[in-house]
Amino acid sequence: MTATPGATPTIVLVGHGMVGQRFLEALAERGLTATHRVVVLCEEPRPAYDRVQLTSYFSGRTPEDLSVTDMRFIEDHGIELHLGDPAETIDRAARTVTARSGLAVDYDVLVLATGSYPFVPPVPNKDATGCFVYRTIEDLLAIEEYARTRARTGAVVGGGLLGLEAAGALKGLGLDAHIVEFAPRLMPVQVDDGGGAALLRTIRDMGLTVHTGVGTQEVVTDGSGAVTGMKLSDGSELATDMVVFSAGVRPRDQLARAAGLAVGERGGIAVDEQCRTVTDPHVFAIGECALAADGRVYGLVAPGYEQAETAAATIAADEASFTGADLSTKLKLLGVDVASFGDAHGTTENCLDVVYSDSRAGLYKKLVIGADGTLLGGILVGDAEAYGTLRALTGSVPPVSPESLVLPAGADPGAQLGVTALPDDAIVCSCNNVRKGTIREAVTQHRCTTVPEVKKCTKAGTTCGSCVKVLGRLVEAELEASGVEVDKGLCGCFAQTREELYEIVLALRLTSYRELLDRHGREGARGGDGCEVCKPAVGSIIASLAPVIGASGYVLDGEQAALQDTNDHFLANLQKNGSYSVVPRIPGGEIAPEKLIVLGEIARDFGLYTKITGGQRIDMFGARVEQLPLIWARLVDAGFESGHAYGKSLRTVKSCVGSTWCRYGVQDSVRMAIDLELRYRGLRSPHKLKSAVSGCARECAEAQSKDFGVIATSGGWNLYVGGNGGATPRHADLLAQDLSDAELVRLIDRFLMFYIRTADRLERTSTWLERLPGGLEHVRDVVVHDSLGICDELERLMRAHVANYRDEWAETVDDPEKLARFVSFVNAPDTPDPVVSFVPERDQIKPDLPLLAIGLRPADDVLEGSAQR
């Protein structure tokens, strides 16, 4: 039926995966959500989530973390999202879709984004108890439960992308994992024999058993119908408690078939270049369910996004077409980089291969070069650092020899060539089809000056992130080409970066900010007083290096006191009404009853507000500045020490109860958390540091939201770095896995000292990791493989910190000279600050802020000579 005149036209989207969500965003960008009713019928019980990162669920990410759907976006655009209610029938004559619930929706435009389903080989007992597929979050939940309660060994059928991820998930759950692949090599679609051999060696070294060149003949079961093994095509039998099928996917085109829409011989809803079905102009198909006009079903998210954009543009009456897509891909499977781009298998006539292979290191790099020198494609295994630049150069003749692009000395061709070598039509971000020229325009025409601004403007780097490094170089190069001078100096006082100042202080053993400013400051800054930017930054550098440069380790000694920010001046956090918080260290969250009693007595005696924090410690608020020494004297006598809540240093190392108490725990997370917190306490750094240790993959300590987090495995510890749970959350990245206690501590030592050495002022590890050229791979090369040869020095610096640690409050309460600073007013030391007042709330206190509410400053207007807050 046709739309009723004057009625709001309706767009119905069937399916709400990543491609479906991108389609909705494309509709909104073109204003169609304001002019159309948009209805979404979704089979799964949750909105669109990141299926590419599905396996990260087993590393601690929650379904909510994986979501790619902003529900505020859905609400703001009036989109009607029906979860758990899939479309069951399409009446094309009446233009009506009916859902499982009975909901019938008339449509003017119907868009099918039904995705794909897992292919399960037709072997006997394929549906037995203990057989699973690996496709949705619900699949993962079922696998996790079965592995926890009924399995010790698991076998994955399929050695492709999802198969390797599934095997890694089973290993992470503590199972002995096997991979069964019918092809003679792993990942047969993406890599060749050489790449497959390098990948095989690395994966076997991780403790997984791989069976290639064999197929599954039968799933063996016991009398109850549960899996006990598998019969393979070579006559062998594999004992296993669980089978996970990950042998590829097929387009979900059943709904389209039933509606009489044309499908391909091997599946897929046939569409034209506008992603409109060839059967019905009112029906579109996008993503893995669509058979594109070039005769291919694209199983990657990037082509699906392009199809979504094409369909939305066509509906908006804009010109757009989908004529094919770049199938390049960069993945990290079981911690191993694997990438392929262009004509990776060398199918072009008269092409040549340039290959570098190091079986000992698990490296394999191959470039396919055309007869005229054009870079046609390539494969990278074990080191995909060059992927972004090489893929962008595909289709052109590189300005350097192909050999230099794969040899170790040329591991980063982007550094050799410079991004200016890329043509404007080179695709920098294949996920979102963003070309170099578009990025240049973002800088020159839209006045973007930072990578985040360019990301927001162009969407480049917002999906898989593999192009961010090249993106950063492009932005910097374009700014320089535009005549914009990028001053990388720390501030107006220093032309050097924080990293450069760190090296100067370390090399020259400078212990004085004044000496550093006079010798290395900008011309006009020498002899001055410095500024609020560089003074605390240099103070932090000197404090970090104090044991090795001969400086005082006490941050309030001499000149150091003048460099500290507000909180460090009184070794406590200033609160909104002028009072301070008291935060003693409670390593790992473990505390004896006697110490709990002491905290309660102190809070009661001084009338403090108490709160148990998310970092597993007890904060006490409301202390007047003159009360701080009295409180800390009692805390020190009871065995407490500073929790450094006021400093740019380690805060806490959170932990679950681990294997000591928890029935799921595989390692003693409490002991490890305590050891790490006591090792790194007082470590001054560019920004605060938070950590956590989880005793199993269930991740109760939330280690992957920390600057460095540790998760126990059956083989040791996995180390994650660069997480942040703050205003801009970022999941930590896996740096190394299955580490012994000694290996774990050594790598954390190196990581922290490398961060302290190279980060910018007030830069969290998450931001630093994303900004650092090479990102995680560079950090891994430096701290794991010692590529710069500095690991001995990093370890030496950390040993010096550990050996020279002294509790700041213990030193303070024993020194009358140091105690003299703890007064509200220097000219009236016995006078308490009259503005610091409280009112009762829930059997405790809260700040009373009547003066602050009308703009009166809390102390300076009451008595002259107020101590600096």
**Numbered residues of the known binding site for [4Fe-4S] cluster:** 656, 662, 696, 700
SS3 state at 520: helix
Which parts are annotated binding residues for siroheme?
700
60: closest CA among 175, 144, 155?
Answer: 144
DSSP one-letter code for 183: S
Residue 147 CA to residue 243 CA, distance in Å, equals 11
Three-class DSSP labels, 264-332: CCCCCEEECCCCEECCCCCEEECHHHEECCCCCCCCCHHHHHHHHHHHHHHHCCCCCCCCCCCCCEEEE
Kind plus residue range of the DSSP H or E element containing 245: strand 242-245
Q: Is 223 exposed, middle or buried (0-12, 13-18, 19+ CB in 10 A)?
A: exposed
Contact criterion met (CB below 8 Å) for 351 and 342: no
Task: Tell me the C-alpha to C-alpha distance, in Å, between residue 166 and each of 55, 337, 705, 746, 789.
Answer: 7, 16, 23, 30, 36
CA distance to 140, 471, 591, 642, per residue, from 670 (Å): 28, 41, 11, 20
Q: How far apart are CA 476 and CA 481, in angstroms?
A: 9
* Relative orientation angle of helices 498-508 and 513-520, to the nearest 10 degrees: 110
- Which residues 6+ apart lie within 8 Å of 494 measured at CB? 501, 517, 520, 521, 522, 525, 534
- Which H or E element spans position 677? helix 669-680
DSSP string, 746-783: HHHHHHHHHHHHHPPTT--HHHHHHHSTTHHHHHHHHH
Hey, what are 290's tokens? 């669509």
571 and 809 Cβ atoms separated by less than 8 Å? yes
Residue 40, strand partner residues: 13, 81
Strands (E), 31-127: 37-41, 80-82, 87-91, 96-99, 104-106, 109-112, 116-118
Say if residues 240 and 153 touch (Cβ distance below 8 Å).
yes
**Residue 386, φ and ψ in degrees, nearest 5:** -85, 0
Longest dimension (CA), the chain: 92
Angle, to 10 degrees, between the axis of helix 741-758 and the axis of helix 791-804?
100
Angle formed by the axes of helices 775-783 and 791-804, to 10°? Answer: 80
As a whole number of angstroms, the distance between CA 598 and CA 38 comes to: 61
Whether the Cβ atoms of residue 278 and residue 11 lie closer than 8 Å to each other: no
Measure CA of the first residue to CA of the last residue in the chain; give whole Å. Answer: 72
Q: Dig out the tokens for 819 from the structure.
A: 């105690």
Contact in structure between 340 and 379 (CB atoms under 8 Å): yes
- Report the distance separating Cα 565 and Cα 569, nearest Å: 6
- Joined together, the tokens standing for residue 84 give 């758990």
Q: Token pair for residue 24?
A: 């909705």
Write the CA distances from 450 to 330, 434, 476, integer angstroms. Answer: 24, 17, 8
User: How many Cβ atoms sit within 10 Å of the Cβ of residue 861?
Assistant: 11
How many C-alpha atoms does 574 have within 13 Å on its Cβ side? Answer: 16
